[in-house]
């Protein structure tokens, strides 16, 4: 019995460690304005979570609360099982943070700055040189370690910002708009770096760039007006319109207006040669009626299948719906 209890305790501890960040019911008000309302999330070890939303959705405010830089008006946050409000120093030791505007000292060399970051993160002196060298290597900064930060390109400065966030080997890395202002080549390099970091760290990536989330993240949480309007895996978002959107293949297609005229169809958009992406109206399933009309009209129906959604489809659907409601 004692052995069984010990095994159960070990399993429960492992499960607790697996969740690196847990936030429940986060809200933040600035006077009469509510910037964030009831946002919850969980982040697992080795997972990259994308926070997506239009400008003003509350992403940066949430990042600041998760890192302990801004107190929520209500809600709870734990990092690796440590309450952020009861034991802030212990909880923050597990976090690496890159704010939207990296706090770089332009007059320092890259090596000096990362060494300073290691000291501030209380990396033990015997391990400090190795930690600095590892961060420089992982972020591709070894060849510029002796250069002044102010002399670096924007892309390299972002790398320096990420290096300071990982130098102490945190369990959680939080990146706020890490590719803003970069050129396409720099963006690709930073995204590859984020993927590599996600192998050994949990990562929260805040952005409003749709391709960034699809190419880097395991899960996505879409925010609008400070609230969560969607939360699922990347695979789950592709099925988001399941039951509400189909691909309709017709060998002799009519005008799109005839398809839209079918009761229960909200929209019919061309999706390729003789293909239409058909969206359903709320609480409607016009599948049977589409088949009937296709047969009666000799449209040459050859495909009727659920359509996968792109992140753009989901984003536009949710944010426009919120605006209209």
122 and 227 in a single domain? The answer is: yes
* Torsion angle, alpha carbons of 71, 90, 44, 207, to 10: 40
**Do 275 and 152 belong to one domain?**
no
Is 82 a residue whose pLDDT tops 60? yes
* 157 and 257 fall within a common domain: no
pTM of the model as a whole: 0.76
**Domain finish residue from 206, 237, 268:** 237
Q: Which residue has the tokens 């400090």?
A: 128
Beta carbons within 8 Å of 107's beta carbon, 6+ residues apart: 148, 149, 150
Q: For all residues of the chain together, what is the average pLDDT?
A: 88
Identify whether 5 is part of a domain. no
**Does residue 7 carry a pLDDT above 70?**
no
The answer to whether residues 161 and 296 belong to one domain is no
The span from the CA of 155 to the CA of 44, in Å, is 28
Judged against a pLDDT cut of 80, whether residue 313 lies above it is answered with no
Give the number of C-alpha atoms closer than 13 A to the C-alpha of residue 117, restricted to the C-beta side.
31
- Residue 126: give the domain boundaries: 19-237
Q: What is the pLDDT of residues 205-263, one digit of tens each?
A: 998 788 888 889 999 999 999 999 888 888 777 666 555 788 899 999 999 999 999 99
Domain count, the chain: 2
User: Is residue 313, in this structure, part of any structural domain at all?
Assistant: no
262 and 116 housed in the same domain: no
Residue with tokens 């088949």: 291
pLDDT band of 8, cuts 50, 70, 90: very low
Task: Check whether residue 139 and residue 169 sit in a common domain.
Answer: yes
Question: In this structure, what DSSP letter does residue 96 have?
Answer: E
Q: In terms of domains, do 124 and 81 share one?
A: yes
130 token code pair? 């190795």
Q: For residue 156, what are the contacts with CB-CB under 8 A and spacing of at least 6?
A: 141, 144
pLDDT in tens, 83-125: 999 999 999 999 999 998 888 999 999 999 999 999 999 999 9
């Amino acid at each position: 019995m004692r052995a069984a209890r010990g095994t159960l305790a070990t399993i429960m501890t492992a499960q607790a460690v697996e969740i690196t960040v847990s936030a429940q019911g986060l809200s933040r008000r600035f006077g009469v304005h509510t910037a964030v309302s009831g946002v919850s999330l969980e982040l697992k070890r080795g997972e990259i979570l994308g926070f997506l939303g239009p400008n003003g959705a509350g992403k940066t405010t949430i990042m600041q609360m998760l890192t302990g830089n801004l107190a929520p008006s209500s809600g709870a946050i734990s990092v690796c099982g440590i309450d952020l409000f009861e034991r802030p120093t212990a909880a923050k030791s597990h976090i690496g943070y890159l704010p939207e505007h990296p706090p770089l000292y332009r007059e320092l060399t890259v090596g000096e700055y990362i060494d300073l970051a290691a000291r501030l993160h209380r990396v033990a002196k015997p391990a400090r040189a190795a930690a600095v060298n590892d961060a420089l290597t992982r972020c591709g900064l070894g060849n510029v370690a002796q250069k002044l930060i102010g002399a670096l390109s924007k892309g390299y400065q972002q790398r320096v910002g990420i290096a300071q966030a990982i130098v102490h080997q945190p369990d959680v890395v939080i990146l706020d708009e890490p590719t803003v202002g970069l050129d396409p080549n720099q963006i690709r390099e930073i995204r590859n770096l984020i993927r590599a970091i996600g192998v050994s760290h949990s990562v929260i990536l805040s952005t409003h760039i749709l391709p960034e989330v699809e190419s880097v993240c395991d899960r996505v949480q879409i925010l609008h007006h400070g609230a969560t309007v969607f939360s699922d895996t990347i695979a789950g978002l592709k099925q988001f319109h399941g039951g509400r959107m189909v691909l309709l293949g017709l060998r002799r297609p009519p005008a799109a207006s005839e398809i839209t005229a079918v009761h229960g169809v909200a929209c019919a958009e061309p999706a390729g040669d003789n293909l239409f992406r058909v969206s359903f109206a709320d609480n409607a399933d016009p599948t049977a009626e589409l088949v009937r009309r296709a047969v009666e009209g000799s449209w040459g129906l050859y495909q009727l299948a659920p359509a996968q959604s792109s992140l753009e489809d989901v984003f536009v659907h949710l944010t426009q719906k919120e605006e209209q409601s």
